Amino acid sequence: MDDVETSSEELLASAALSSVLRPRRVLVGGLGLGYTVRALLADERVESVLVAEIEPAVVQWMRDGLVPSVLEDERVRVAVGDVRDVVLGAAVGSLDALLLDVDNGPDFLVYNENSALYEASFLAECRQRLAPGGVLSVWSSSASGALEDAVRAVFGECVVRPVPVRLQGRAETYYVYQGSS
């Protein structure tokens, strides 16, 4: 989570929004500091955002006002728990967009069990939850050929968007991987 360089989190939302004709129902894996959700809520076409956040403390920070909150917006619901469970609990074809900003991407995991989130089997579950024309967008702190291949295997193509950022005075690049149903 970063409150200085937020462009890649915002791009995660804007790339999905620009790829879907009617992005009414969105699921976001990872609340973070709310920049992705805030960008989604700026679009009046978005009717509901379900956020899966595994760390209760992150949700509590917003509820306590320690960080600017997106939780007061009536379109936002938070499920405290593993994004895998939240995705699998969503009805088939019920989402217009599914955005994953979990961990640091597949190559620099904080939680090793999150590696499954970036594999074709889970991405296929994500695709099943998408309505026709829906989009999956995945954030990563690094380029990942394996993630690109997995998205391509499930969706038939993968759009990769590099996002140049400045972190502590040095140039870095984050990535957004996208597949459409």
Is 29 within a domain? yes
Cβ atoms of 28 and 36 within 8 Å: the answer is: yes
Vertex 2 angle, CA 141 and 40, to 5°: 85
Residue 158 lies in a domain: yes
Q: Is position 28 within any domain? A: yes
- pTM here is 0.93
Answer whether residue 1 is part of any domain: no
Asked if residue 14 belongs to a domain, the reply is yes
- Identify whether the C-beta of residue 178 lies closer than 8 Å to the C-beta of residue 137: yes
Domain with residue 26: its CATH number is: 3.40.50.150
What's the confidence (pLDDT) of residue 164? 86
Give the residue from 127, 120, 101, 129 showing the smallest Cα distance to 31.
101
Is the residue at 2 inside a domain?
Answer: no
pLDDT in tens, 43-68: 999 999 999 999 999 999 999 998 88
Is position 103 within any domain? Answer: yes
For the stretch 7-46, pLDDT in tens is: 667 888 999 999 999 999 999 999 988 999 999 999 999 9
> In whole angstroms, what is the distance from residue 19 CA to residue 116 CA?
25
- pLDDT score, position 4: 52
Q: Total structural domains in the chain? A: 1
Residue 96: both structure tokens together = 């217009």
Residues of the domain holding 80: 7-180
104 falls in which pLDDT band (50, 70, 90)?
Answer: confident
Instruction: Give the other-Cβ count within 10 Å of 59's Cβ.
Output: 18
**Side chain identity at residue 175, one-letter code:** Y
C-alpha distances (whole Å) from 45 to each of 11, 33, 41, 124 are 17, 22, 9, 26
pLDDT value of residue 1 = 45
